[in-house]
Structure formats: structure tokens, C-alpha cells
Amino acid sequence: MDEAVKRRGLRRRRPNFDDSSSSWLITYSDAITLLLAFFVMILSVSDIDQGKVEALQEGLSTVMTDRQQTTPFTDIKKALDDYIEQNGLQDQLSVILDQRGVKVEFANVALYDSGSADLKAGAVPLLEKVSAIIRDTSHETHMIEVEGHTDDIPIANKQFPSNWELSAARATHVVKYLMSQGVAKERLKASGFADSRPKEMDPAQTIEQQRAANRRVVVQVRRY
């Protein structure tokens, strides 16, 4: 009889958890980390602002690992912004983060003379610095696309029958310079758009100001 009572008592007895133990936190932390990593992965493959993705990745990495996360697009922008400010180049160069990655825009006057696709001698130090930052900060899996743009004034000469050839030649020369500075050719692409992709302009600007703004070379660093 006593033995039966003991067995019933054992069945009703609750497990004795050690409240001082924190081993459950390890499992909980792992689960949260995996969940956060899943959301980061979803964000990374979505067509959203890459700057926001990198900011999220950096924040999560700091919280979960106490280490600084590599954020190449943000790093490129910061390095170029510092260079622009230190050298007063706001009229020649601008950098923004967009949905594709980081966009570096050269005013045409910074690189080329009117109607020419030959890099100006004075443009070399600027292009050298930009090339070094892109080469050293971007990831080897990033595509670098150089776009040439012109205004809407037609050009027609022996060298450039139209603005298409002029814009393509300008983009190609920047690509060649990036290659000479150590950027792998497999990561590079040159595109000429002539005047087919004008910028959104302030209606208060004059026609000549709008045309000057559209004469530009754009370097896009983006995901494959």
C-alpha cells in the first residue's frame, strides 16, 4: 500500500527547475538571431533602398555581436562626402544612396571639355581619388556601371555622328581609367544614354542650366 502511494506521489510531483539557471537564454538568443538574420536576408533580396538595408544590418550586427558590420555602399558615400567637403567639390561631384546602391555623379565640366570624350588633365586627380575609394571599399561582387549622358543639343562630326557615340565614348574612357586603377574588368560596364534620360529639373532654372546639369557621367556601384 505504501509503495502505491509513493508511485502516485512521484507522478504528481512537478519538475524542479533551477530558477538561477540561465541556460535557456542561449536557445532564446539563437532563435532571435536566426529570426533577425532571416529578415535581413528578405530585405537584402528585395528591391528597396540599399542605404536603409545597410543601416539595418549595421544596427543588428552591433546589437547582436557588438562588432561593426561592413557596409560598403554607406562607406563609399561617407568617404566621398568627406573628400568633396574637404576639397570644395560640391559643384563637380555628388554622391547619393538609392535603391540600386550608391550613385556617384560627375558634372561634365569636371571630366570633359564640350564636345570631347578625352579626359581633361585636371580631372585625373579627382578620378584617381574616386577610383581608389570605389576599388578599396566596394565588394568584389558589386557591379560598377558607368553611364554617359549629354544634353539635347545634337552633335554631328566625323568623330561623333550623334550624342549616342559621344556619351558612350565618355563612359568607356572612365571605365578604362577604373581598370587602370585596379578595378577588375569583369565588374565594369559602360553605357551611353545620350539625352534620353534627362534629370528632373527645377522649372526656375534656365534652359542652359538644365542642359549643363544633364551633361554628366554617373558611376553606379550596385549589387549583381
Task: Of 219, 15, 46, give the one whose Cα is nearest residue 133.
Answer: 219
Q: What is the structure's pLDDT at 57?
A: 52
Q: What is the structure's pLDDT at 202?
A: 85
If one compares 92 and 3, the residue with the highest pLDDT of the two is 92
Per-residue pLDDT tens over the stretch 98-120: 888 999 999 999 999 989 999 99
pLDDT over 70 at 64, yes or no: no
> What is the three-class DSSP state of 208?
helix
Helices (H), 181-218: 207-214
- Find the mean pLDDT for residues 21-35: 74
User: Which are the contacts of 160, defined by CB distance < 8 A and separation ≥ 6?
Assistant: 115, 117, 166, 169
Per-residue pLDDT tens over the stretch 127-138: 999 999 999 998
